[in-house]
Amino acid sequence: MRIRWLILFGLLSGLQACGFQLRGFSTLPDQLSNLRVITDDLTRTQQHDLNQQLQRAGATLNFDIEHQSAVLKISVNSLPERNIVDSAGSDRTIVRLSRQLRYSLTDTVGNRIVDNKILLQTQDLELDDNNLLGIESEKQLTMENLDKALFNSLLIQLRRL
pLDDT in tens, 41-82: 899 999 999 999 999 888 889 887 777 889 999 999 999 999
pLDDT score of 120 more than 90 = yes
What phi and psi values does residue 156 have, to the nearest 5 degrees? -60, -45
What's the whole-number average pLDDT of the chain?
Answer: 85
* pLDDT at 19 (0 to 100): 57
| Residue 20's pLDDT band (cuts 50, 70, 90) | low
pLDDT score of 22 more than 50 = no
* pLDDT at 101 (0 to 100): 96
Distance of CA 58 to CAs 12, 34, 70, 75, 154, Å? 34, 9, 14, 22, 14
Among 10-19, 113-122, 130-139, the range of highest mean pLDDT: 113-122
Name the residue with higher pLDDT: 127 or 120. 120
pLDDT score of 121 more than 90 = yes
What phi and psi values does residue 35 have, to the nearest 5 degrees? -135, 135
Task: Compute, in degrees rounded to 10, the torsion defined by CA atoms 158, 48, 42, 35.
Answer: -40
| Residues forming beta bridges with residue 125, ordered by sequence position | 95
In the chain, the percentage of residues whose pLDDT exceeds 70 is 89
pLDDT score of 29 more than 60 = yes
Out of 23-27, 47-51, 98-102, which region has the weakest mean confidence (pLDDT)?
23-27
